[in-house]
Amino acid sequence: MSSTPHSTSGADPSTLRSVGSGGVAGLGAALFGYLVTYLLSSSTIENSTASQVLEALGSDISTWKVVGWVFMSAHGVTTRFPGLFGTTSSANLIENVEAFSPVLYVVPVVALLAAGALAAVVSGASSPQEGALAGAGTTVGYLVFALAGIALFTVSVGDAAISPDPVTSALLAGVAYPAVLGTVGGVAATALR
């Protein structure tokens, strides 16, 4: 009877390679998605009435931060705004601001499907299960971007702040989107090979 040696030193190197390539692809997808969103929405933001009003009031809200709110909105994340008497309201900017095209919702979908497929190819995935693992690895890099975005896209306004909702940023944009779409991309890449 032959026995197969089992490694007790940690995770399988191919699993680490799959998750690692997925993580890099996920971060790349987030940066690419943000860049495309910037290109599609920055002039709208800079030419908006709201931007001009905020500028007149002396508020220094950078365009790149507002683009972050729009990019997070493309994932279904709302942006929280201070209201009267200490209240907070929230809105999905793509849904509630007519100037933003609904096409922006497609940006993270395409970026994550491509990232999942790329991760599967780079990791050498040869089965749908391996492709799924590599694609799901996009969650690692995308979550890093989503968590960093909570801090980077926050703007102080007096004693209050405008920011992406932290819970939906982490759970929806950081985990759900890449876990589902990255996995689908990874499986599709291996199925088509």
pLDDT, one tens digit per residue, over 134-155 is: 999 999 999 999 999 999 999 8
Q: What are the sequence ranges of the domains in the chain? A: 28-192
Q: Which residue has the tokens 């790329």?
A: 118
pLDDT for res 18: 67
Under 8 Å CB-to-CB from 191, ≥6 apart: which residues? 128, 131
Side chain identity at 31, as an amino acid letter? L
State the average pLDDT over residues 151-164.
88
131 touches 189 (CB < 8 A): yes
pTM: 0.87
186 touches 131 (CB < 8 A): yes
SS3 for 90? strand
123 touches 134 (CB < 8 A): yes
pLDDT in tens, 21-54: 899 999 999 999 999 999 999 999 888 776 666 6
